[in-house]
Amino acid sequence: MARWEPGARERLVVAAVDLYADQGYDATTVAQIAERAGVTKSTFFRYFPDKRELLVAGQETLSTLLAEGVGEAPAGASPLDAVASGLERASSAMGQMNRELAPRLQAAIAASSELQERDALKSVGLATAMTDALVARGVPEATAHLAAEMGVLAFKRAYAEWSKDDHSPDAALAPFTVAALDELRIASQSLG
């Protein structure tokens, strides 16, 4: 088994998503994931505490990028403009592998209540990162929380749209996130 080949973390994620899509989350074992990825079980546990955590690989990085982007927005930026800056920053880290895995990952999540719960917790974590960054900019907490939740919703909508096959394979995610946030901004104005 190729224990020290580079890219073990990414291979584990791809293997898990493939197995979850093929045979379901509950039927997939850590041993199967490790075998498909070409690593040992101990290597698996070096990267992930359990098989559920594979689905949120990169969440910490994504949260950090969102918060940094919000924090680096121009001083006079509105809360939603700062969120847009965060979305653009985080979107730049999403590549072709993320796009290719998206439909299988979404199917695996839809088929498992445990994965749906973990996905919801991921959304909360992303919203918290943006809320904290907005509050640090001096945005009132309620406004910051609402803007961050809109940002998470925009990211999810954009990611789903971006991962469809009818877009150019080299299309970047950032324009999709900005467009989704703009759509939500307009929709929120009709709430009264």
Would the pTM of this model clear 0.95, i.e. be above it? no
Q: For tokens 């917790």, what's the residue?
A: 121
Its CATH architecture, for the domain 8-54, is: Orthogonal Bundle (1.10)
Cα 25 to Cα 61: distance, rounded to the nearest angstrom: 24
Q: Domain boundaries in the chain?
A: 8-54, 58-189
pLDDT at 192: 76
CATH tag for 58-189 (out of 1.10.357.10, 3.40.250.10, 3.90.1150.10, 3.20.20.100):
1.10.357.10
Question: In this predicted model, what pLDDT tens digit does every residue of 109-137 receive, in sequence order?
Answer: 888 888 888 888 889 999 999 999 999 99
Per 3-state DSSP, the chain is made up of helix, strand and coil in percentages (nearest 5) of 75, 0, 25
Q: Which of 77, 98, 96 is nearest to 147 (CA)?
A: 77
Mean per-residue pLDDT, 178-184: 95
Q: Which amino acid is at 106?
A: Q
Question: In this predicted model, what pLDDT tens digit does every residue of 58-85 receive, in sequence order?
Answer: 778 889 999 999 999 999 999 999 999 9
Mean per-residue pLDDT, 172-180: 93
